[in-house]
Amino acid sequence: MHAIKETKFKFPGQTGFYSGKVRDVYYFDTVMAIVATDRISAFDVILPEAIPDKGRILNQIAAFNLAVTRNLVPNWVLSTPDPNVTIGLKCEPFAVEMVVRGYLAGHAWREYRSGKRMICGVPLPEGLKENDKLPHPIITPTTKASVGHDEDISREEILKKNIVSESDYKVLEDYTYALFKKGTDLASEQGLILVDTKYEFGKHHGKIYLIDEVHTPDSSRYFYIEGYEERQKTGEPQKQLSKEFVRQWLIENGFQGKEGQQVPKMTNEIVASISARYKELYTQVRGESLPPVDYNTILPRIEKSILNSIKSLNLVTSKND
């Protein structure tokens, strides 16, 4: 099975490199080339086996959504020269993630079930059930932890601690609601409900940009519209479209990222089943089948696409050619 576990390119004009949980980032001063590898993480742990096609699936979903929301919110992307590659502006990220929720699910539901009626400073009404639609979308920000887990934080705390200025935070809120409305409309066209998602923002030369991936199944939770109301009435679990199936497989096999726990063995069958699920996610979210690729030429293709891009941006001088 072909999968991109890592890249180790060296480019003329390169000023830095960073390997994250699932992406390899090549820096060229104020521009960066991000390679979406096939690594997969869960519970803040990189799993031992890469998942074929996962990188290009998420990169292409993100590229589509970044393109169709550009008229609403400026974003970091300059080009997407390859299914696995995005070239964009290097932005200074804000130290918060804007989590927006239209339904009471996941972490918000667990907090509500424990008795809390105030989440990140946002009041919630009594009498809600899991996966109920909220009276209106709410923003429940989290801190962006460099180490460990992100933590809930309120708008008031963000402003009080001067993590984000009030004027900038107002822009982040407006952008978040606009993006969520667009994402909700796009999901509806594919027979889906955008339940919750997160957006990250950064600054480049003083201007605020949307950064990172947008409306992918790794950063968002989707329900199927068909049968939603009936399942809510009968108390059945909603059909989800997200990375939750990977987490569930890990939990069922005794792993939640806790100290002393071992990642269960990822057999070829497990890897293939996860890859197949990601392809299903792509088809459902994008409304089309995943195009085939030549697996034998993936790495040279990626390297060439980045080299051509940085040359076209005049980031490589003739003496480096």
Residue ranges covered by each domain of the chain: 16-92+267-320, 93-241
CATH of 93-241, one of 3.30.470.20, 3.20.20.10, 3.40.50.2300, 3.40.50.300: 3.30.470.20
H helices of the chain, where? 54-69, 106-113, 155-160, 166-189, 228-234, 244-252, 268-286, 298-312
Q: Which of 129-133, 173-177, 255-259 has the lowest mean pLDDT?
A: 255-259
Length of the chain: 321
Q: Could you tell me which of 98, 140, 149, 96 has the C-alpha nearest to residue 119?
A: 140
Q: Classify domain 16-92+267-320 by CATH architecture.
A: 2-Layer Sandwich (3.30)
Q: How confident is the model at residue 104 (pLDDT cuts 50, 70, 90)?
A: very high
Question: So what's the pLDDT on residue 321?
Answer: 36
pLDDT tens, residue by residue, 170-196: 999 999 999 999 999 999 999 999 999
Q: Distance of CA 210 to CAs 35, 37, 75, 199, Å?
A: 18, 21, 4, 7
> pTM for the whole thing?
0.90
